Amino acid sequence: MPAGNARVIVILPDGQELRASLHERRRGPDGWQYRVAITLWQAGSGGRQEPVEHTVWLDAGHVRPIEGGDYSAVPTRPPAPAGRGASRQAWTIQNLPHRPGHPGARLVHIIGCQPGAPIDLDQALEALQQPSTVPCLQCKAATSLPSAG
């Protein structure tokens, strides 16, 4: 089974369960984490609703395998080096609202370019995997980030 096609159950905060695609897994400081993708509806151009895939890293307590599923082809990342998330470089995210003729978007900035709460490297890379999220051209955020590999 190709990577990204393994299916899992994601348990939402209110107890609802959704099927999702499992893209990769990693051993975090507090146990296993899984990068899953859920397809949801989003307002698109002209106010139409369009399906869009949202990805997120979740702790093992929020993800359950589907009985009989084959997870052998799911990529497994090595643990992040100690202190990686606490690197000296930090970023922020700016949400640009939806307006007629232009869907909403998000920009990832090097900290100081735009106000916002600081995020770490993993959060910046994860944000850039989301639809309509791009690095800021003014502060050249893309040059400060390694590829999402």
- One domain, residues 48 and 33: yes
- The pLDDT assigned to 144 comes to 79
- One domain, residues 88 and 73: no
Q: Does the residue 68 lie in any domain?
A: yes
Reported as a single tens digit per residue, the pLDDT across 65-110 is: 998 888 888 888 766 555 444 445 688 888 888 777 777 788 898 8
Q: Domain boundary residue among 77, 99, 115? A: 77
In angstroms, what CA-CA distances link 15 with 11, 18, 48, 65, 88? 6, 10, 29, 16, 37
- One domain, residues 46 and 31: yes
Domains in the chain, number: 2
Q: Does the residue 1 lie in any domain?
A: no
Reported as a single tens digit per residue, the pLDDT across 14-38 is: 999 999 999 988 877 677 888 899 9
**Amino acid at residue number 122:** D
- One domain, residues 58 and 25: yes
Domain containing residue 121: 84-144
What tokens appear for 59 in the block?
A: 């702790």
Single out the residue of 97, 101, 135, 137 nearest to residue 119, CA to CA.
Answer: 135
Reported as a single tens digit per residue, the pLDDT across 37-53 is: 998 888 877 778 888 88
The pTM score is 0.53
